[in-house]
Structure 1
Amino acid sequence: MPIDRRRFCSMLTILAAAPFSPLTRAQSREVAMERISLPKPAHGVPNSHYPVLLYHHVIPPDTADNAAYLEHLFMANGWPPQWRYPVYPFTHFHTTTHEVVGCYAGAARLQLGGEHGPVHDIQTGDVLLIPAGVGHKQIAANKEFMLVGAYPAGFSPDLCRDEPALLATRTKAVQEVPLPKSDPVTGHNEGVVRYWAAP
């Protein structure tokens, strides 16, 4: 069941101080990954020259609490978790930060890059790292589908829709978002460290 961000952040503070069981403790590790290239603007969606990174099977099979595992993994890698929720059912993007979402339950079909962009199937254990400016939208999902969402430390998202009149301004803002210092899944190895090198 979705919880609001204020209540979630309070709960996270408590959990951060609590000991984690071996099955919950997350460590950075290399996992299977896809790169999804969406370099061109689409209507009012800037998109990005950085590829979307889709990680598979991030959650080990013996994990007791999938959501807590992802939250601890993201936190350990400098991406404090902010919410638990599905994806909005309309195309949107962020101009102030990159975003990572980890599926801890269920499955969904997500569209990336705008209204005519590719559709990807996401399931439990998948993590999607979305660069600033890349459009995303939930096309369909089963009732169990839930995500953990996080952003690099010190950053918070705005919420932008597909509005062509604002494309130039938003594209400029996206280009000013700095590269993250670490990858939310792999830490200082692979991921953004390798594939998001400054152009």
Structure 2
Amino acid sequence: MDLGLADAQGEPVVPERLIFADDGRIPNSRLATLAFRSRGVNPVLDREAIAARFETLFSANDWRPSWRGGVYDYHHYHSIAHEAFGVLSGWGKLRLGGEQGEDVELRTGDALVLPAGTGHCHLEASDDFLLLAAYPEDQRELDLLRADPAEHDAAVARIARVTRPTHDPLGGETARWWS
């Protein structure tokens, strides 16, 4: 409740679902990118308290918190893991889906789930923009691929083997969003 990501019954908020086509350089995914919008973070929480809430929430749903930082300012994707972000502070605008994709603005308390293969790139952000990244427990390794047609087909094959976690990082069943 402190992150504004649950409804009155304690269920995760319904995410925006975004699907991006394969552009021949970035495979993207037939699974939807999930943007969970915070309804408002408890104002008494500072950045460290928000981070602790996200770490607890992600861990409880078998998504391993990994690092804090921003997003690279070039188009890239991961072919062997799904990735989740929790916004700890500030705001940032990302382009998702490759060069012809969609710009998405994230704010403190929002969470984003990028299925394996989904392109993402930093466009602009506030000075205090900070993310916590997490990955499903069974996806311990992470690759970093740029938009490169020469890598495309091998990446598509790897993406097809990435398992789907039972739950999204907020506790909803991924089958509900990724059917």
The structural deviation recorded for 1:172 is: 1.1
Aligned runs of 1:1-199 on 2, under 5 Å? Answer: 29-38=11-20, 40-57=21-38, 60-62=41-43, 64=45, 65-155=49-139, 156-185=141-170, 187=171, 189-190=172-173, 192-197=174-179
Q: Structure 2: 5+ residue runs without aligned partners?
A: none
- Alignment check: 8 A CA contact 1:59 1:69 kept: no
Instruction: Show structure 1 runs of 4+ deviating over 4 A.
Output: none
Structure with more strand by fraction? 2
SS, match of residue 144 in structure 1 = coil
Deviation at 1:32, TM superposition (A): 4.0
TM-score (norm 2): 0.88
Displacement of 1:23 in angstroms is 6.5
Structure 1 alignment gaps of length 5 or more: 1-21
Which deviations, in whole Å up to 9, do the C-alpha atoms of 1:7-53 show, x marking residues without a partner?
A: xxxxxxxxxxxxxxx979x9873214200011x21231000000000
Q: How many residues align?
A: 171
The 2-side partners of 1:177 and 1:32 are apart by 24
8 A contact 2:82–2:135 mirrored in 1:
yes
Q: CA RMSD in A?
A: 2.1
SS of the residue 2:156 aligns to: helix
Q: Secondary structure at the match of 1:87?
A: coil
| Residue 59 of structure 1: how far off its partner (Å) | 6.5
Structure-2 change in CA distance of 1:138 and 1:23 (3 Å): closer
Aligned equivalents of 2:43, 2:126: Cα separation in 1: 23
User: Which amino acid counterpart does residue 161 of structure 2 have in structure 1?
Assistant: E
- CA deviations on 1:112-158 (whole Å, 9 max, x unpaired) are 01011110111111100000000000000111000000000031211
CA distance in 2, matches of 1:123, 1:29: 20
Once the two structures are aligned, what percentage of the paired residues are identical?
35
Q: What is the alpha-carbon distance in structure 1 between the residues aligned to residue 119 and residue 161 of structure 2?
A: 17
Question: In the aligned structure 1, how far is the partner of 2:89 from the partner of 2:28?
Answer: 27
Residues 173/72 of structure 1: CA separation in 2 closer, same or farther (3 Å cut): same
Distance verdict in 2 for CA 1:176–1:124, change over 3 Å: same
Instruction: Normalising by structure 1, report the TM-score.
Output: 0.80
Contact 1:82 1:151 in 2 (8 A): yes
Instruction: Measure how far apart 1:58 and its partner are.
Output: 6.7
